[in-house]
Structures are given as structure tokens and as C-alpha cells.
Structure 1
Amino acid sequence: MRKFLPAAMLLCSTAIAGAEELKVCVEGAYPPMSMMNEKGEIVGMDIDLTNALCAEIGASCALVKTDWDAMIPSLMEGKCDAIIASMSITPERAQIVAFTEKYLQSPNMFIGRADAGMTDTAEGLAGKRVGVQRGTVANDFMAGEFPDVELGLYGSEEEIYLDLAAGRIDAAFVDAGTGEIAFLKTPAGEGFAYFGAPHIEEKYFGKGAGIALRPGEDDLRVRLNGAIQAIRANGKYAEINNKYFTTDQYGG
């Protein structure tokens, strides 16, 4: 995460007059968690959760559209106050940022041609080129568990799906929830399917995705933890989840 790119700010729909403003880094290129609609607005489950959490703590939130590689640098340089971008809680990231408790946890899986006969083993992926989003825990998993497999590194999962459909890569290793919605259930995904087992190994994928904050923001972290539990308890989380998925993305 070294690249530092310009960020555009968009107001959340939950602005509260006179309230504390919370600037939130979001991606806008990770459907259905975070994506751009036809009006140029950032929408998705991460965005709806951001709005709900800001409302719960009584804050006015502003979205800061940020490329994935620039997320943590933007947070640390004060361009945003929090990252809500399905960022996995890992020991490496926890050395730099402070995480809330998890707010979702979805496994990663491989996608390939349904008739290709690939398996999620070294033998099954031998000679194959696998697409993965760079700088992610999926990237770490592939590098650690499949060091001899050729990787295609991409800036977003959307770019991976374009090359997978075009045959420029043989398989993709992506979030299972977003892969289903953003690719497999679209016309471009016809003839493709998941293969192998779901992967959620803590060594690579941490303990789920949390909200990243600057170290020392203990009051904000406590308030956001309380807000996560509140929207789980009052049904708001389920309402948002069910707009995008048929399964609970919070995990166990």
C-alpha cells in the first residue's frame, strides 16, 4: 500500500446538521460492497453500513473515494478518519492502524471455467494464471500458498472479472460474496463457477473485516464498536445485508 492517489469527496446521505463530521475512505470499485451508480454516486453494502453507523453515533459522514492502494496512507495523513472498505483485520495492518471489531466476514474462493476441471491445489493450478487484487489478503494467500502459480495483479476486482471473461487469465481468487453478485450472476459470468473450498484461514484472512482508524482514536473505536453491535441487534444490519445477499455476511 504505497501508492498515494487523489481522492474525491462525496457527502453521505446521513448528514446531520451541526454534528461531528466523520470522513470515511471507501473504494467505489468493489461491487456490491462499494460501487458507482449511473448518477456517479457511491453505493453498496459498505456505504449503507457507513450511513447506518454514522447515524448510530450521531455523526455527519462524508465519503472519500479512494483507490485501494491509497487507503491506509490516506487515513494516516488525515485525508479520512476511518476506512470502511471490507478491509480484513490482519496482524500486519494492525501494526499500522487500529481496528474496530469485525463488521463482516466473507470467505474467498476461486472462479474458473466450469468445464476446465481446475482444482485449488498446486497441481490443479499448475501452468495457470490467476487474477487477484494486489495488496489484499487474497494476494497474500496466493503468494504464500501457491508460490509457483503465475499471478495477475489488479487494482480492483472489476478489472479481474474483465480479464477472466476475456480469457486473459485462467482463474480468479476473490471474495465469495462479491464474486457471485458482481460476476457469476451477470451475463459475463456465464460458463464460470466457483471451484475448490471456501478459504477463511486466519493466518491470511484475519478475524473478519473491521473499520480501520488511526492509532489513539480509542473513543471513536469504542463508539463504532457499540454501533456495530447496535445495528446487529436492532435489525438494521440484516435489512442492509438482505438488499445485496441471501446469506448473512457477518459470518459466525
Structure 2
Amino acid sequence: MPFSLPLLRNLRRLTAGLLVLAGAAAITANLVAPASAQEPDVRVPNFWDPKAVHDRPTTIPDKIQFLAIDNYPPFVFRDPQGRLTGFNVDLARALCQELGSSCALRIKLFDILMPALDEEEGDAIIAGLSRKRAAGRGLNFTEDYLKLPARFIVPADKAETFDEQALTGLKIAVVEGSRHEAFATRFWPEAEILGFENPLDARDAVKSGAADAHFGDGLSLSFWLPSEAADGCCAFAGGPWLEPGYFDEGMAIATRASDPERAAALTYALRQLHQKGIYRELYLRYFPLSFY
């Protein structure tokens, strides 16, 4: 399955369809504009070595048809007019523009994404496909374009003084059975780990004062913190946590085993989008409260 984000737990029945990403020129010069001077503290993740030099691949595909799932906000979802939009949609369009390739996006049910790729109904999966789930299929993956770190949230008035290296006696709310619970139990034995059935209860424990902090998924927390449900109670503190074996597996684009050239071209394009500032613009567009 895609990454276990609360946003995905209530996926409605998906309808297969096809959207041609017309007008790649919509990715205009404003995407490469430098960050505003009013945003000095915004953290945008960087997964690429800025000193590395990468030549443009000699083999560039004329067309890339991406396979994705619907109702996967903020990555792929429909706007009030029913049009597909989202981070992955705009990222796919920007990748095609960088490569000079025509671009399309086909919506599929998640369970048939890999069979659809095998049957050449599309060229690349951009849907948070886990490498572990795809193990044994021999797929080619690009470099990660987004990782999903763990983060702490604490009462807003304690964010500046919270020390994640000094948790003795603190009550840390986690979701039972999650990677976050396993990590916290192993590495912070001096803290009191409180297990909750779901993320909302774990967050509310901090809001009510029943817990000193919540350790959970940074992405979903970045949307909860500015929401009415949070009511300004809390803020990020410390982190981000990307420890191997727990939170290090990121989101990447997958191509068929027989198509390594397309994966290489997409990896090159991802690096170029980062260097040109386009990745930063997309990240801030869909994740206004950075989870890094």
C-alpha cells in the first residue's frame, strides 16, 4: 500500500480514467523564483548533493504516461471543479517540461498499478509506491523525491525549550503498533510512552495536557497544526527524524525493469528541478507548513 498516512485510510472507491496533462507551459518562470525574504525559516528538504555534476542522459523519452491513484491529498486529488491537481500532478508536469517530453497521467486503483505498468498501460508509477511492496518485481526506481520524517509536536509555549535529548519522565503520546511507537520505545526508555488507538487521540493528548509531546508522522501533523482542530495548541519541536529502518524510505517514481533509461532520465530531471528552485516552489505550494 502507499505510505500509511491518515489521509489514505478512508480512500473512496476509485474510478479509472485518463487525464492528459495539457499545457506543460503552465510551469512558468514563477516556479524558479527565489524564496521570499519573508520566509527565512522555512525548511525545504534537499535529497540531492549540490556539488554533484550530472550530465543530461543521452536517451530521453518522447512521452511519459504516469500512473497514479486518485483521492490521495495533497499528492493527487480533485479541485472543486473536478480537475486533478496536487503535488504529484504538478511534479509530473514539471519533470516532463524539464525533459521536453509530452506528458499524461492515468488514474488507477492502487492494487492494479503494478499490473498496469507490466501491461504497458503506463510508463511510470508516481503514487508513493513502497520499494518493499515492489520487492521481487525488479522495478527501477528514481532517487527519492520526498521522504516522510517523524516529528514531535508539543504545546506551542514549550516548543522553544523542548529538548528531544532530555525526555526523562516526559509523557510521549504515540499511535499503538506504529513505527513511531517502536522507535520511541527502543530509543527513549527513560520516557513514559503512552499508546493511543489513532493519531487524533494522540494529538489531543498533547492538546489537553495529558501528554507532554506527540511523536508521529510529520506530513499529517503539518496539516493538523494550522487546522481548527488544533486551535493553535501546538507546534513542531526538534527533528526531523529520518532514522534508517524506521523513517528513511521515501517516495520515488517506479518504471519497468526493462526501462532503466526512463528512470535515469526522471532522476536527472528531479535533480534539475531542485537546482532551478522549481522543487522548492512546488513543496511550498502544497506543504505551506514545512514538516522538516
Q: Same fold (TM over 0.5)?
A: yes
Q: 1:82: which partner in 2? A: 124
Q: 1:229: which partner in 2? A: 271
SS in 2 for 1:232: helix
Aligned mates of 1:104, 1:129 — CA distance in 2: 23
SS in 1 for 2:81: coil
- Deviation, structure 1 residue 144: 5.4
CA RMSD of aligned residues (A): 4.4
Q: Is the 8 A contact 1:28 1:65 kept in 2?
A: no
2:225 matches 1:184: yes
- Deviation, structure 1 residue 62: 1.3
The AA in structure 1 aligned to 2:225 is L
More helix by share: 1
SS in 2 for 1:101: coil
Equivalent pairs counted in the alignment come to 225
Q: 1:193 aligns with which of 207, 211, 235?
A: 235
- Deviation, structure 1 residue 230: 2.5
Change (3 A) 1:245 1:76: closer
Q: TM-score, normalised by structure 2?
A: 0.57
Q: Is the 8 A contact 2:175 2:195 kept in 1?
A: yes
Aligned mates of 1:144, 1:216 — CA distance in 2: 37
Q: Is the 8 A contact 2:150 2:241 kept in 1?
A: yes
Q: 1:14: which partner in 2? A: 22
Change (3 A) 1:111 1:212: farther
State how 1:167-182 maps to structure 2 within 5 Å: 173-176=216-219, 179-180=221-222, 182=223
Change (3 A) 1:164 1:30: farther
State how 1:27-38 maps to structure 2 within 5 Å: 27-31=70-74, 33-38=75-80
The AA in structure 1 aligned to 2:68 is C
2:172 matches 1:130: no
The AA in structure 2 aligned to 1:8 is A
Unaligned 5+ segments in structure 2 are 3-10, 25-61, 187-192
State how 1:203-214 maps to structure 2 within 5 Å: 203-206=245-248, 208-214=250-256
Aligned mates of 1:172, 1:205 — CA distance in 2: 12
Deviations 1:136-170 (A, max 9, x none): xxx444445548864546xxxxxx55995699xx8
Q: Is the 8 A contact 1:165 1:188 kept in 2?
A: no
- Deviation, structure 1 residue 220: 1.5
Q: TM-score, normalised by structure 1?
A: 0.64
Change (3 A) 1:209 1:47: same
- Deviation, structure 1 residue 77: 1.0
Q: Is the 8 A contact 2:181 2:195 kept in 1?
A: no
Q: 1:135: which partner in 2? A: none
Larger Rg: 2
Unaligned 5+ segments in structure 1 are 133-138, 154-159
Aligned mates of 2:267, 2:248 — CA distance in 1: 18
Change (3 A) 1:184 1:216: same
Change (3 A) 1:26 1:116: farther
SS in 2 for 1:202: coil
State how 1:142-157 maps to structure 2 within 5 Å: 142-143=181-182, 145-146=184-185, 150=195, 152=197
